[in-house]
Amino acid sequence: MNISALKRELDGMKIEDNPAIAQQKSRDFYWYSPVLKRQLENVTADLVVSPKNQAEVVRVLAACHRLGIPVTPRGAGTGNYGQAMPLSGGVVLSLAEMSEITTIASGRVICGPGAILADIDRATRTHSGQELRLHPSTYNTASIGGFIAGGSGGVGSINFGGLRDFGNVIRLRVVTMEAEPKVLDLTGEDLHKVTHAYGTNGIIVEVEMPLTASYDWIDVIVGFDSFMGAARYGNALGCQDGLLTKLITPIAAPVPQDYFKRHQRFFRSGQSICLVMVAPHSLDAFLAFTRREGGEVVMNAASMSEEEKKGLPPTFELAWNHTTLRALRVDPAMTYLQSLYPFPNQLALVEKMDAMFPGEVFSHLEFVRFDGNITCFGLPLVKFTTEERLDEIIRLHEENGCPIFNPHRYTLEEGGMKQTDDIQLAFKREADPQGLLNPGKMIAWENPDYDYRSGKTFLFKGLQRAG
């Protein structure tokens, strides 16, 4: 790999080749998974390039194409399964500096891929009382481009579903990796070519997202004597069309008591909880509904003084993958899974799986709107013992009708898609004919005959060398 030739070609651009910094910028939160921690420990880029605009992105991709050097895009590095880790070395393309917010209008915002989600909301709230529809629990640090390329949904999915649902992204501007890179504006069904594709088939250089009305969301935590009490409550709350919520997260004891250090004073021993974000105008009706459903409000930020709220993270930083992060900080042997409990049997499936692994798997649900129906994803915590046992827990979920989106795999197919995405594969052939964009993440490109249902981890040949 002719890195010195590349440096000459990119003279005048912001480049970092210090090995320690290159390695740091080649990392995400892959260590959430003990499997990926072992596999990806030695992955590192040769160079970090930080373009300031679209023209510089075009320049980098053209030069790397000419020299045959792989390029892995990176937002803020808050992904969880190696999406932004350069399995074949080469260039990490950091888009953090392309963070300008260029247009705010009724129902939409246009910005660079490096814009941080919380910064976008601050700007749109100030401008016109609007906010993004969806954000991950890493809201304060994650970039919008990284969220679209690596995320699937999050806070707000109870109202709007997932990022790949029609309407949740308006337009993406993407640069291809060819001898003469093209700049394409994708809308409508063409967006599926690049959403949740880890940058394997184009670099996002501009994003247009829908906005919704913004509120000073109120954090509430509701306690229950049993986890299924919390789960049934969460499901019923999600079905209340007149109550505006943004987050509904049931979590089984003893997770809150053991891992939510700053909130521990609110929980009784053995109490399962449901985390909620509720709009101020819905609060009284929400409290009435909660009383009727037998929930005990253990924390209501609306009735707390500034002094009482001091030092408490927002509830969304206890939810989604922050639940896993908080557990890992206390007990490094913890990891997690991602599952779907399909509608209309979600509660029966939740009850069955919750009882199956006592003391080993701890239930955590996120209620979402999925194809117009209220159902839930699971992000259960798992006490890790061996990779074989982890695979067995996954198999038992799948055999019981709960698909697992495996966070212990770094490929698109094994993690989220569960199948070859023919649209993304066809677009990669067009946009990245040499296969230099984020190599190793799309099995269908690297090894079309591979059966990823075999359960064996696909080890990309570049990674076998790296290891």
Full DSSP string of 189-228: GGGGGTTTSTTTT-EEEEEEEEEEE---PEEEEEEESSHH
Q: Pull the structure tokens for residue 222.
A: 């509701």
Give tens-digit pLDDT for 224-271.
999 999 999 999 999 999 999 999 999 999 999 999 999 999 999 999
Say if 3-94 and 101-214+416-446 have the same CATH topology. Answer: no
CATH code for 101-214+416-446?
3.30.465.10
* Residue 136, token pair as written in the block: 């991950």
Question: Which amino acid does the sequence have at 230?
Answer: A
Residue 358 CB contacts under 8 Å (≥ 6 apart), including other chains:
none
Q: Are strands 91-94 and 71-74 parallel, antiparallel or unpaired?
A: parallel
Calculate mean pLDDT across residues 108-137. 98
List, in sequence order, every residue forming a beta bridge with 204; answer none if it has no partner: 174
| Burial 388-399, CB ≥16 within 10 A → b, else e | eebbebbeebbe
The model's pLDDT over 263-315, given as tens digits with 9 standing for 90+, comes to: 999 999 999 999 999 999 999 999 999 999 999 999 999 999 999 999 999 99
**What is the architecture of the domain spanning 3-94?**
2-Layer Sandwich (3.30)
Q: Is the pTM of this model over 0.85?
A: yes
Of 228, 175, 181, which Cα lies nearest the Cα of 205?
A: 175
Query: Which residues, in sequence order, are CB contacts of 207 under 8 Å at separation 6+?
Result: 110, 111, 112, 113, 115, 144, 145, 148, 169, 171, 172, 173
Domain limits, the chain: 3-94, 101-214+416-446, 218-303+312-405
Domain 218-303+312-405 CATH superfamily: FAD-linked oxidase, cap domain/gating helix (3.40.462.40)
Q: What does the alpha-carbon distance between residue 106 and residue 130 come to, in Å, rounded to a whole number?
A: 8
Residue 467: pLDDT band by 50, 70, 90 thresholds? very low
The C-alpha atoms of residue 321 and residue 30 are separated, in whole angstroms, by: 12
- What phi and psi values does residue 33 have, to the nearest 5 degrees? -105, 120
- For 418-452, the pLDDT digits (tens) are 567 888 889 999 999 999 999 998 888 888 887 76
**Secondary structure (3-state) at 20:** helix
pLDDT at 262: 97
Question: By the 8 A CB rule, do 301 and 5 touch?
Answer: no
Distance separating alpha carbons of residues 430 and 465, to the nearest angstrom: 27
* Residues 161-211 pLDDT 10s: 999 899 999 999 999 999 999 999 999 999 999 998 889 999 999 999 999
Q: Examine the pLDDT at 368 and tell me if it is beyond 90.
A: yes
